[in-house]
Amino acid sequence: MEGPRLETARLLLRPPREEDLAGWTELMGDEAAARFIGGVQTPLGAWRGLATVAGSWALHGFGMFSVIERETGRWIGRVGPWRPHGWPGPEIGWALIRAAWGQGHAEEAARAAIAWSFGTLGWTKVIHVIRAENLPSKALAARLGSTFRTLGSLPAPHEGEYEIWGQSRR
Ligand SMILES: CC(C)(COP(=O)(O)OP(=O)(O)OC[C@H]1O[C@@H](n2cnc3c(N)ncnc32)[C@H](O)[C@@H]1OP(=O)(O)O)[C@@H](O)C(=O)NCCC(=O)NCCS
């Protein structure tokens, strides 16, 4: 689907397309990147993940955006609104390929996605569901102005305890 295009200084955010599969497969095939987002997946598993996010756009009119580096046209990750069935709230999620870490890209993309979710979707709050050990993700949530709210869980098959971070539109 075409869907919205958000442009930031360095990035383009748009709904996922099949051409993103190579990047998606790289992300989900990397043990370090996949550790806190369900673990390493096969190329077919990565395709299912991409199709699920595309399906979220089709079903809900929103979903995580593919994040493209404007200068190179490279797919570097997925960031944005996400609310699967049974989720504890309206989430802004993020995951970038390892080569894109440490450059402020996740923060830049998440700021644009949060503004779009508040402004266009009309969300009044956002959450981020993060494993306690995922320090880079918690640091990012804090940079965005979110705070730790409570401990919680996700629907099966997700197991264990998660920290729920968040912020309200106000
Ligand atoms: C979570 C994740 C997106 C965070 O990535 P990140 O690179 O730490 O975050 P950002 O892209 O915002 O970059 C911030 C870093 O870039 C640095 N930086 C460099 N140039 C910058 C710039 N122009 N603007 C802002 N920051 C910049 C910052 O100083 C910071 O460095 P630090 O970590 O040493 O303090 C990344 O670790 C990831 O994709 N992990 C795997 C998937 C995952 O676990 N997702 C979360 C599930 S809850």
- What are the C-alpha distances in Å from 110 to residues 11, 41, 48, 71, 100? 11, 24, 23, 19, 14
- List for the chain the helix, strand, coil content (%; round to 5): 35, 25, 40
Residue 2's pLDDT band (cuts 50, 70, 90): confident
Does any ligand 1 atom lie closer than 6 A to the CB of residue 8? Answer: no
Q: Is the pLDDT of residue 103 over 70?
A: yes
Task: Answer whether 79 contacts ligand 1 (Cβ < 6 A).
Answer: no
Ligand 1 center to 156 CA (angstroms): 28
When comparing pLDDT for 69 and 170, which is higher? Answer: 69
pLDDT in tens, 157-167: 999 999 999 99
Q: What CA–CA distances, in Å, run from 29 to 43, 111, 125?
A: 8, 26, 32
In this prediction, residue 1 has a pLDDT band, given cuts at 50, 70 and 90, of low
Residues 55-78 pLDDT 10s: 999 999 999 999 999 999 999 999
What are the structural domains, with CATH classification, of the chain?
A: 6-168 (3.40.630.30)
What is the average pLDDT across 22-30? 98
Q: For ligand 1, atom 44, name the residue with the nearest CA.
A: 36
- What whole-number distance in Å separates Cα of residue 33 and Cα of residue 96? 7
DSSP element (H, E) containing 109:
helix 105-119
Q: Which two tokens stand for residue 134?
A: 């995922």
